[in-house]
Structure 1
Amino acid sequence: AYEFLPLDVRTLDVNVNDIVTDVATSGAKINIMSVTQVKVSSEKSALYVAAEHLLHKSNAEINEIAMKTLEGHVRGVCATMTIEAINSDRDLISSSIQTQATGDLLNMGIEIRSFVIKEIEDEHGYLEALGVKRTEEVKRDARIGKAIANREATIQEAIAAQEAEKANAEAEAQVALYHRDRDITRQLAEAEVEKERANKEISFDIQDSKRNQELIVEKRTIDLRDKEKSIEVQTAEVKRKEQEQIAEQ
């Protein structure tokens, strides 16, 4: 007669009650509900081991062997840890249980594919209290975070306002400086224009005075010439009359 070992994957619920945690101190008890996937190994060397230990077992008996082995490791891992540690990092606990159980299961030709903790509970509501505490801590941290964020926002707004005020002051100073330079430039230009105008007026006055002097000199010269001509005429007239008198004698 032939006997067969099923090599399909088995999904099993592993529920372990009254697990004593942190044996060295508190000894608090919890219940863990988990799910695992196992199968009879198809590796050649492991298959010989499975045939030796499981060939005459029923599926229910094979399942029971896997679950009892895992239960032992669940209790062993949790015995060294506090409830808080177990509850805070379920993935780490699941990985640790799977790692420790792998060797024992392979010694019977069984592979473990996965182990996941679904739920943790205790009879005294300690985990629920931890959840409430954690919720309140999260709320508190959220309030603190919000307060810090508001404070940072206020500080940043104040800094931004200060920078804006500084920028406005610098802009106003630049505008004032521009106006000052513009006014100075305009005043210098006006002064230069006034100077040129004054110089032109002075030059004109000098030229006008010079022209007047020239006219005076010219007029005096003309007057002098007129007098000289008048004297010449008078002298000629006197000579003419003298000649007439001489002629009459």
Structure 2
Amino acid sequence: YSAIIDVRSPSEYQDDHIPGSINLPVLSDEQRHEVGRKLHRADHFAGRRLGASLISNNIATIIQNYFMDKPKDWRPLIYCWRGGQRSNSLAYVLAMVIGYRVCVLDRGYLTYRNHIISQISSFSDCIKAKVITGPTGCGKTKLLHFLSSCGEQILDLEGLANHKGGSILGGIDLPQPPQKLFETRIAQVMRTFDFNRTVWIEDEAATIGKLHIPRKLWEAMLSSPRYFVRLPFNERV
């Protein structure tokens, strides 16, 4: 595809999205909630009419801002949440009015999300993990990254979770991603593994900050061999 276009609202996109996709929302967060309020009040006709008006205006802006320089053979994949109303709205204009060859992802982001869950589960069933454990500040994360520099496969869950762990001085201090995006990051890394080889993982609780390690992966970690790192107390970070 020439591009993958996520037409969901900005907050939906930030929660998780297909890697490499661009966000061209046909409804803003505020507009989506406004339409949703009418639909939830059982005023479906008024809600759909309002949605059509807002989406039409937004599609015109999207075409002006993004599509004016795209060649005739440009071929996007478009998706929304699930139902297809938002993605098909943009797809219809691009395909039937302009003439692009457009694909719409069947059942949208939900298809992708189910794929991520399935991948993590199947990868966790066949992973040959070795878990690095030990007290706080003994250098487990440094050891993990040293192993990576030596060509070993690692799954750095704290790094993917933007979490600095229990050490006062160490690690990353960034906002944590949403749970779904965390799981997407895990799946992306796991896709690169040769499952005939060992994967080194730092020992973690079931949660890392506010995020939960996927259950199948957590169970695989619990049943894997553990390697204890010892360091004198006065040398710990």
TM-score (normalised: structure 2): 0.24
Name the larger-Rg structure: 1
Greater length-normalized contact order (CA 8 Å, ≥ 6 residues apart) = 2
Higher helix share: 1
